[in-house]
């Protein structure tokens, strides 16, 4: 009986692991099949026979994939950097400086977390359209910056640093900003890194807002780029080239995940993000 349960456990886990990995395998495999060979298949082939790099060439030449990647990188870096700056400053104000009514203000801030993005997106879209910010990087970046959740996470972390350090710094004549940058931030590096990585993942995968605010391919991010690829494609439906593009788009995040996997998983478990 005990042995049976143990065998079933292994089977369950291995089957699910294969189901998780299979789409990635199929993506990779198809990206190396030639256009002709893929379309001529009567029975899908599970192994590589004549690997070709043509699809990768096609993915970069047939569509502006490099441009999409560059746009996404720029968007991700700007959004993450801005988010970190305003969140660190705000968390510092709530955790350390404090002022009359700061608890109440923080409570109000937390209640903002319950607002679903769908409600807010509509009027933000209209406002930014009126401001002429469609198809522009400010239009893409600015609405993606504010995050109550990260302010909350940082504030909690800042509060764990003993008060005595702050007073010692004050006695030495250190300014608040200097204390924040030289003492607090280095001490809270793990949390800062976790937040940065989570925000990078979020930005790299952003789809809904970029789709609303851009309809000019020059400003497409990768998500919109591959959707465009799928609908208008390479002039013809070219599945292997599409898969090659998907491999290129997915790889950076998978590498980031494999390098920082413990930090990412711990951060997500702690935060409980993504409903």
Partner 1 sequence: MMEQKNYRAILYLLPALLFLAVFLVYPLADVFIYSFEEGFNFASQVYHGIGLHNYRYVLRDPYFIQALRNTLCLVAITVPLSTGFALLISVALSSLPTLQGLFRTIFFLPYVTNTLAVGMVFLVIFGRTPYSDGLMNALLSVVGLGPVDFIDGPYAAKMFVLCFYTIWVVLPFKILILTTALASVDKQLYNAARIDGTSRARIFWRITLPMISPMLFYLIITGFIGAFKAYSDAVAIFGTSLNNAGMNTLVGYVYDMLYGDSGGYPSYASAAAILLFLIILTITVINLLISKRLSYHTGGSVR
Helical residues (DSSP H) of 135-215, grouped into ranges: 137-141, 148-159, 163-171, 176-179, 185-187, 189-204, 208-213
Least distance (Å) from partner 1 to the CB of residue 223?
Answer: 5
Tokens found for residue 131: 């401001």
Tokens 């955790």 found at: 95
Q: Is 36 in the site for partner 1 (CB under 8 A)?
A: no
Q: Report how far residue 2's alpha carbon sits from residue 97's, in angstroms, rounded to the nearest whole number.
A: 58
Tokens 């099949």 found at: 33
Q: Is 4 in the site for partner 1 (CB under 8 A)?
A: no
Residue 249: name the closest of 205, 216, 213 by CA. Answer: 205
Least distance (Å) from partner 1 to the CB of residue 92?
Answer: 6
Residue 72: name the closest of 265, 253, 258, 263 by CA. Answer: 253
Q: Is 259 in the site for partner 1 (CB under 8 A)?
A: no
Tokens 């504030």 found at: 155
Q: Is 158 in the site for partner 1 (CB under 8 A)?
A: no
Least distance (Å) from partner 1 to the CB of residue 189?
Answer: 20
**Among residues 110, 168, 218, 227, which is the contact residue for partner 1, using CB under 8 A?**
227
Least distance (Å) from partner 1 to the CB of residue 224?
Answer: 8
Decide: 210 and 220 in contact? Cβ < 8 Å.
yes
Q: Is 143 in the site for partner 1 (CB under 8 A)?
A: yes
Cα distances (Å, whole numbers) of residue 233 to 73, 125, 216, 238, 245: 22, 27, 16, 7, 11
Residue 158: name the closest of 174, 173, 178, 180 by CA. Answer: 180
Q: Report how far residue 59's alpha carbon sits from residue 99's, in angstroms, rounded to the nearest whole number.
A: 55
Q: What x-and-dash track marks residues 5-34 binding partner 1 by CB under 8 A?
A: xx--x--xx--xx-xxx-xx-xx--x----
First to last CA, the chain: 38
Q: Which CB, 21 or 77, lies closer to partner 1? A: 21
Q: What x-and-dash track marks residues 102-141 binding partner 1 by CB under 8 A?
A: x--x---x--x--xx-xxxxxxxxxx--x-----------
Q: Report how far residue 112's alpha carbon sits from residue 89's, in angstroms, rounded to the nearest whole number.
A: 18
Q: What x-and-dash track marks residues 159-178 binding partner 1 by CB under 8 A?
A: -----------------x--
Residues numbered 48 to 87 that lie near partner 1 (CB under 8 A) are 85-87
Q: What x-and-dash track marks residues 186-225 binding partner 1 by CB under 8 A?
A: ---------------x--xx-xx--xx---------xx--
Q: Which CB, 105 or 165, lies closer to partner 1? A: 105
Segment interacting with partner 1 (CB under 8 A) among 49-57, 58-66, 88-96, 162-170: 88-96
**Among residues 50, 163, 216, 231, which is the contact residue for partner 1, using CB under 8 A?**
231
């Amino acid at each position: 009986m005990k042995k049976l349960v143990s065998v079933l456990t292994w089977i369950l886990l291995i089957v699910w692991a294969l189901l998780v990995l299979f789409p990635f395998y199929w993506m990779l495999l198809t990206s190396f099949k030639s256009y002709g060979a893929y379309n001529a298949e009567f029975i899908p082939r599970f192994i590589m026979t004549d690997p070709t790099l043509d699809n990768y060439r096609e993915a970069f030449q047939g569509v502006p994939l490099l441009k999409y990647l560059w746009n996404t990188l720029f968007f991700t870096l700007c959004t993450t950097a801005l988010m970190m700056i305003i969140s660190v400053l705000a968390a510092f104000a709530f955790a350390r400086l404090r002022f009359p009514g700061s608890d109440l203000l923080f409570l109000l801030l937390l209640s903002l977390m319950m607002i679903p993005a769908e409600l807010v997106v509509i009027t933000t879209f209209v406002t930014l359209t009126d401001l002429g910010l469609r198809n522009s990087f400010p239009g893409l970046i600015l609405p993606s910056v504010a995050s109550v959740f990260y302010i909350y996470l940082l504030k909690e972390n800042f509060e764990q640093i003993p008060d005595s350090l702050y007073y010692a710094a004050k006695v030495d004549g250190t300014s608040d900003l200097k204390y924040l940058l030289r003492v607090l931030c280095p001490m809270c590096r793990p949390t800062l890194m976790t937040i940065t990585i989570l925000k990078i993942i979020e930005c790299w995968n952003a789809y809904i807002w970029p789709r609303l605010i851009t309809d000019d391919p020059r400003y497409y991010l990768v998500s919109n780029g591959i959707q465009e690829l799928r609908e208008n494609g390479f002039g013809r439906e070219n599945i292997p080239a599409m898969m090659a593009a998907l491999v290129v788009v997915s790889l950076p995040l998978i590498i980031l995940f494999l390098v920082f996997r413990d930090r990412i998983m711990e951060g997500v478990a702690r935060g409980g993000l993504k409903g």
